[in-house]
Amino acid sequence: MNKKLFITIILSIFYQQSHASVDIIQGFDPQAQTQLFQAISTPIITGLSSPSSGLIMAIGTAANGLKDAITSLQQIAVQAQANQMKAIATVQNATEVYRNMQSAPDACASISRAAYSQSVKDNAAYQKNVYAHRGQVRLGNQPAPADQARQAQAINFNEYCDPSIDPSGCGGGKVTPATNGNSAAPEQMVGADMQASTLFQGGGAPGHVTNLTFSKTTASSPNQEGAAQDYINNLMGVDAPRKISQQEYQTPQGQVYEGLRVAYLARMSLAQQAFTSVLANRMPMPGSAQIVQAMMQSDGGASANYISQRLAKIQQYSPSGDVSPMELLDMEVGRRVDNPDWYTLINTTSDTNALLREQVFMTAQLMKMELMRIKSDELRTALEALAASQEVKQNMKPKLDAAEQAIGQGMAQ
C-alpha cells in the first residue's frame, strides 16, 4: 500500500480533514514520512489478527502514535529551521565583518593612489628642473678642459677613490675625507662617480643592494644624491667648451664661438634631461611617509608585512620614512605581485566587491604606468632624433663645406 495514501487516510480519520492531512504529509521529507508510516502501520497490522475490538484499540493506538510522531517530527523541523536561521545569521555576520575589514581600501584608496597624484608629479618635476638648472649652470661655466679634468680627478680621489684603479693606490689608503659637500667617505662608495649603478641603483660599498630612495647629505649616511650628480657631471662636463671672458666675447671670433657653445649646451640639455629625470625620481618626496602608511592599511593588512620589510631597508637612506616616486611605484606594484600575503588574500576572498575594487585599482595603475611609458618614449624619441641629426651633420657637413668653398673659388675667378 502507498505510504503517503495510507498515512493520509489515518490522518483524515484523526484530523477529520483530508486537505489538512495532505498539507502535513507534504511538510515532511521522505524519511519523516517513513517514520510516520511505521508509527501508524505497526499497531494496525498487529490489530488485524485480533478481534474487532482489538482492531479498534489498534487504530486508537496508531492514532496516538501518529500524534506523538507528528509532534516529535514537528519539533525536529522547528529545531532544524532554527539552526538554519542561525547559520544564515552567522554567514551574514561574517560577511558584514569582512566587508568592514574591506572598507579600508575605499577609505585609503585615494591616499594610496596619491603616489600618482598631481602633487607627486609636481614634486618630481620640480626636483628634475632643479637638477637640470644646476647642471646647466655648471656646464655653462666650465673652465678650460684641462682644469675640468683636474677637478674630476680631485673629486674622485677625495671621495670615491678605488685603490684597484687609482695609480697612487689612493695615497696608500690615507684618503682625505669628503670636502666638496658630500658626506660620503671614499670607502663607503668606491668608484661611485664612474659607475652607472650609482644613478639607477644608488651608490654604496661593493655588493651594495639596490635602493630606489637615495640619501641626501647628512652626517650619518652615504650621500647618494651627490654621488649621482658627480657621475652625471663626469658624463656631461669634463670636456665641455669653456666659458670665455667678456673681453674675448667682444671679438667677432668670440661671438662665433659663443654661438657654437649655445648650440652645444642646447644639445647637451636634452641628454641631461634624461639623467636628471632618473635622479629626481629617486629622491625622497616630502610627506610620502603618510602615503606609505595608508598603503599598509589599504587591503586589510595584507600589505603591512611586505611594506614594513621595505621600510626597514629604506630607513638608513631616508630616516624620515619618506620615499621617492620610483620607490612608491615599486611598492605599489610589489605589494601585490611580490607579496605572498596578497596572493593569499585574493585566493581566499569571497567578497566580489572587494575583488572588483582591487581589479579597478590595478587597472588604474596600469593606465598610469602606460602614461609614464609614453612620456619616457617622448624623451627617447627626442634623443634618437638628436643622434640622427648629428649623424646627418657628420655625413653632410664636410660635403657642404667643400661645396661652399668651391662656390667662393668660382666667384673669385
- pLDDT digits over 193-222, tens only? 999 999 999 988 877 878 899 988 665 555
Residue 279 has a pLDDT of 93
In angstroms, the CA 113 to CA 295 distance is: 9
Residue 123 near residue 284 (C-beta atoms within 8 A): no
Query: For residue 136, with 0-12 CB atoms within 10 Å meaning exposed, 13-18 middle and 19 or more buried, which class applies?
Result: middle
**Which of 101-105, 137-141, 403-407 ranks highest by mean pLDDT?**
137-141
pLDDT at 41 over 80: no
47-51, 164-168, 294-298: segment of lowest average pLDDT: 47-51
Distances (CA, A) of 258 to 141, 263, 282, 351, 411: 12, 9, 35, 68, 30
Confidence of residue 316 (pLDDT cuts 50, 70, 90): confident
Stated as kind and residue range, the H or E segment containing 110 is: helix 52-112
pLDDT at 46 over 90: no
- pLDDT digits over 241-289, tens only? 999 999 999 999 999 999 999 998 988 888 888 899 899 999 998 888 8
Percent of the chain with pLDDT over 70: 65
Residue with cell 502507498: 2
Confidence of residue 18 (pLDDT cuts 50, 70, 90): very low
In angstroms, the CA 347 to CA 345 distance is: 6
